[in-house]
Structure 1
Amino acid sequence: MAQNAEDREVEELIEQLSSSPQKSPMQTPQEISDSSKPRQRSPVKELHGLLSKPGNKSRPYKGRLVKDRRSRTGVRGGPKKGGAGGKGTWGKLTDAYGGDDAVVTKDEHDPNYNSEEDNYVVKTVQPEMTEEQFQNFFEVLIKEYFDHGDAEEVAISLSELNLGSLESKIPQIAVTMALERKADQRELTSRLISDLYGEIISAPSMGKGFHKLLENLEDLCLDTPDAAEVLGCFIARAIADDCLPPAYVSNHNSGSDKTKIALSRAKVLLKMKHGMVRLDAVWGCGGGRRPVKVLINKMNLLLQEYLSSDDVQEAERCLLDLEVPHFHHELVFEAVVMALEDGSDRCSERMVKLLKYLSDSNILNPDQMKNGYLRVFDTMADISIDVPNAHVVLEKFVSRCFDAGFMSRAVKEKVSARGRKRFVSEGDSLSGPKEPVLKIGSVS
C-alpha cells in the first residue's frame, strides 16, 4: 500500500510540472518582491527526493517511470562461471569431467566422500616373484656372499624385491646351502640370518623357515649325513642371536627321528655352561682366523697320519679342510724337517710322493713350494744341532724332488751352494790352528 501511494504522488508531481507555464526570463517588480518570501520546495526536487529513497526501483525516463534494473552492489550480473555453472549443468564444452582439477569432496557426510582420497602417495610397486624365480635369484646371491662376506650388500639386494610370502625362504635356502659347505660358510650364514632379522625377515617368517627345515630334514640327510646335528647348531645359534624365541625347542617336540636329533642337539648346546656366549663360536674358527700354532699342530698330525696310511687323497682332503692356501709353505717345511729327522729312505720317498701329488693337483703352487724350501735352508744351523747329518740327508731329498720334476733348478742350486759352504766352514773350524805341543827332550 505504501508503495502504491508513493507511485501516485510521483505521477501527480509529473502532471503538475507538465501543466505549469514557462517563466519569462525577465522578472517583474512584484515577482522580485515575492522572492523575499520563504521559498517553497520545487516539485522537481520533491520528485527527486521521492526517487532517491532506498528501495525505490523506478526512475523517470522521457516523462514516464522506468523500472531500474541496475545492481546496487557494484557487481556485474553476468552468468555464473561463464555460462557453465549452476545446478544440473555439465560444464563448458572443453571441460574434462573428473580430471586432475576435479573438486574432491571433503565433507564426511557427503555421499561422494572417499576417505582414501584425502592423503595418498603414488609408488611404483614391483610384482611378487614366483617361488622358483626367487630360489634361483637367492642361490646366486648366497654364492656371491660366501665369496665377499658382505651382509649389507645382500640386504640391499633383497630390499629391492617384493618378497611378500617368500621371506621364510631366506633362512631355508641359506641354511640348506650351508649344510653342504664348511665351517666358514656356516658361520657366514649364521651372521647373515642375524643381520637380516628384523629388517628383511620378520619373526613369524623366521620361525616358519626353520620349521620347513625340520620338515625336510629327512631329505637333507640324504645329501648331508650329519644334517641333523648341523641344523641343531643353526637353531641354537639363532636362539643365541635372538632370531628365534628360547621356547622354540620345547614347542617342537613332535617329528621324525632326525628332527628329534636336531632339537636335542640344540637343547644340549643351550643348556651348557655359558652356552649363549660359547654359541658365538659354535662353528669354530675357520681358515685364516685360526691361530698359527693350531695350524702347525694340524699339519703335523696330517703328515704323521699320512706316513702311517700312505693315503695321499686323505692327506689332500685334510689339507683343503684347513682352508689356508696362503699357509701351505708350512706343510712343505714340516714335511722336509720330518724327513730330515727320520733320516730313512721310506720317509723321504713318501714325502716326495706327497709333495709331487699336491704339486700336480695345483694345491701347492710354485711360490709356496719355494718358500717352504727356503725356510728349511735358513734354519739348517738349528736343525744340524739335533740332526748332525742333516746336510747329507737334505741333499739326497732335494735330488729326489728335482728328479720327480716339481723342483726348479734354481732352488736345487741354492741348496747345493749352502750345503758346500756349510761343510767348508765346518771343516775350517775343525782344521783350525792347533796349539803348539811342547816336546820334552834334550836341549841342544
Structure 2
Amino acid sequence: MRDEGAATSSPKPAPFLTDEQRVALDQALRDKAQEQAKARAIANHKAAAASGERKSRSAKGPGGAKKGGGGGKYTWGALLTTGAPPAEGDGALDKGDPNYDSEEDERDVVLLRNHQAVLKQEVAAYKEEVRSIVEEYFLSGSVSNVAESLEELGASHLAHYFVKRLLTTALDRKDREREMASTLLSSLYAEVIAPDQVIKGFTSLFTSLPDLVLDVPDAPELLARFVTRAVVDDVLPPAVVSYVDPESGPASRDLRQRCEVQLAARHSAEKVLRCWGGAGMGTHHTDTKAAISSLLSEYLAAHDVGEASRRLRELGLPFFHHEFVKQALLAAIDNPANMEPVVALLARLSSSGEVSCSQLAKGLRRVADNLADAVLDNPAAGERFAQLVAAARAAKVFDDLQPEDVGPNAAAALFGTNFAGAAVDGTAGASPAASNGGATTVATSNGGASVGSVVVAMPPGVAAFKAASLAALREYFDSQDALEVAARLVALEEPGLHPLFVKAAVSLALDRKDRERELVSKLLVALVPEVISHEALAGGFTRLLAAVDDLVLDVPDAVHIMSLFLGRVVVDELLPPAFLTQVLPSLDAEGLGVAVVRSAGIMLAARHGIERLVNCWHGGALELEAVREAIRTAIQEYGTSGDVAEVARCLRELDMPPYLHEAVVAAVELAFSRYNGGATKSSAVAAGHSPEANGNAQPQAAPSSSDDSVEAAASPVVQLLAALSGQGVLSSTQLTAGIERVRAALSEEVLDYGPSSRRVLDWITERGQREGWLAA
C-alpha cells in the first residue's frame, strides 16, 4: 500500500533560480524592454520629422493639413512654420488665378532644375565609384573591403545602383564571379545594403532585360539563377517574381517562367545553392583547395609544366595562388622525389609572372610558420624544408622576395637573417647572417623551437591564437581528449585571449550535431577554472550574446541553442545565476542576445529545469568504450539478420568516423567465428565446460579448409564491407586500418578463433583488393 505520509513529505523539485534571482532578472528584463521601447520611440520620431509628417503628438485626429498650410484639429497648424497666418493669395501657381506670379513660378522651376542637376552629378559619381569597387572585389574577393568602401562612400539611398552594377558585371563573367556576386549580396544584405535597395536593384534589372539580352544572350537564364539564389539566401522575398512583367517581351516572359519553375521544384534548394558550379569556383575554400590538390597530383604524375600552368590559369584565382604555393612546397617536403619537379614548376610560374611575388611570399610564409606542426608528423620536415629552400634559391624562384615579406622563420632559411627582434619587439632590425652562410637560430619569446637549421615558431597575436584554438577544437571533436586541449591552451600562454576560445568553441558547435554540443559542454566543465577562469568564461559568453544577431544568419536556430548553452553552464555551476542579470546592460536592447537571456532564465526558473538542461543535448557524446560497444553490437546483429542498411544507419548515427575501423575489426572477427567456431568454443570455456576441465579431452574436428567453406563463412562479411564502402560509410583509410589492426593482432586472434584465421583474413583481403574497395 502506498505510504501517503511519505508521499506528502517528499519535496517537490525546486527551480534552479531562487526567488530573489528571479525578481532581479525580471527587473533587468523590464529595464531592457523600456530601453528598447524608448529607442523605438526616438527612431519613429526622427523618421516622422525626416518625412515632414505633422501628426499630432496626442495621437488624436488624422493630422492632415488644411488648405494653405493650416493644420486641422489636433495639429499645430501653419503658425509654427511661418510665424504668421498666410497672406491671402499666397501660393497661387495657377496661371488662371488673378494672384498668379510668373516670376515665382520661374524661380521654382529653376530650383527644381538645379536640384535635378545636382542629383545627376551625385548618381554619376556614385556609379563611377561602385564600378571600381566591383572590379576590385572580383580580383581580391574581400567582402570586408567592399563593405568598408560602401560605408565610406555613403549614399545608402543609391545602393540599388551598386546591386545592378554587381549583377550586370557578373552576368558577362564566369561562374566564379557569379558565385562571388551571390555571396557578396548575402553578406552585405541588411547590414550594408538595405533590403528595399536590393529589391530595387533587381527590379531595375528586370526592366533593362531587353538591353541585357543584346550583350548577354543567355541573360534570362543567368538572371533567373541570381533571383532564385537570392530567394534561397533570404536576400529577396519569393514575391519578387511578380515584379517581372511577362507582357514586356519574350525575355521577361522567359525569366519569369524560369524563376517560377526553379522555386516550385521539390528539393531545389541544394541545386540552387550550387547553381554556379562546384570545385574551383573560388568561393568555397574546401572546393578550391581540392581543385589545387588535383592539379598538383596530376602534375607530379605527368611532370607537364604547360598543362599545370594552363589549369592554374583556368581556375582564375590570382588572389589564392598562395594556397597553390603552400601545397606544392608541402608535397616536396613530404616526398623528396617531388622536390625537383616542384622547384621546376615554381621557377616557371614565377619567371612568367603567373604567380606573383606576394603570393610566393605568402605561401612560403604559411609553410614556414606552421613547420612545427609538420615536424610532429614528419621529423625530417625541417631538414627537407631547408633543402627545398636552397634548391629554390638556386633556381631563382625567390629572388624578388624581401626578408620582411616572408616572416622570421622563412627569412632564417632563405636569407640566413635573424628576425627575432622584428617578430617579438615589432622593430625592423635584423642581425647579420651567420658566417657559414647557414640559417641562424632565432630566439623567440613565444616558445619557438629549432628544427634542423630552421627556426619553427608560431607568429604571435590574436590570429595565431584563433587558428590554434580551432585546430585544437576540431581534433577534440574526434579524440574527445580534454586534457590535450588543456595542455594546448596552457602552452599558448595567452590567458587574456581565453574568451576568444570560449566563443570559438560554442560557435563551432552551433552548426554541428548534439554530439559536438555535448562535447563542448563537457570541455568547459573540464577547463573551468583550472585552465580558463570564470571571468574569461563570462567574457566569452558576453561576446557570444552580443554576436547572436550575426550567428542567426548562419544558424537559424542559434537563439534556442545559445539559450541551452547558457543555461547549461549555469547548471554546471561554471557561471553564477547572477550573470544573466549582470550581462543584460551590455547588450543591445533590440538585439537577439536579450532573447537568449530571457529564454535561459525561463528554463532555469522552471520546475524540472535542471534535469532538462543537463540532458539538453540528449547524451550526444558517447564515451569511446560505449562507441566500440555500439559498433560491435551492430556487427553482431548483422550476423543474425544480414541487414546491411541497419548497420549503415547505426554507424551513421554514431557520427564517429575516426573510429569506424573498429567496425572492420568486428566484421573480420565475425568471419573468423563463422568459419572456426571460435565463438562457441570461447563461450564453452567461459562457462567452465571445456573438455580439458572435465578430464575427457578429445581432439576437435578441424574445420574444412576448402575454398568453398571459407567463402561460405566470409562472403557475408565481404558483402557488408563492400556495401559500406560503396555507400561512403567506411572510407578506404578506415578499411585498410581495420584490416591492418587484425593482421597485427593475428597471433591473439588465433588463440580465440583457431589457426585457420590467417586463411580467412587472406581470403577477405584478396577479395577486397580484387573488387576495389580495399587498397592494395
TM-score range, shorter chain: 0.3 to 0.5
Relative contact order: is structure 1 or structure 2 higher (C-alpha 8 Å, sep ≥ 6)? 2
Say which one has the larger Rg: 1
Report the TM-score, using the length of structure 2 for normalisation. Answer: 0.30
More helix by share: 2
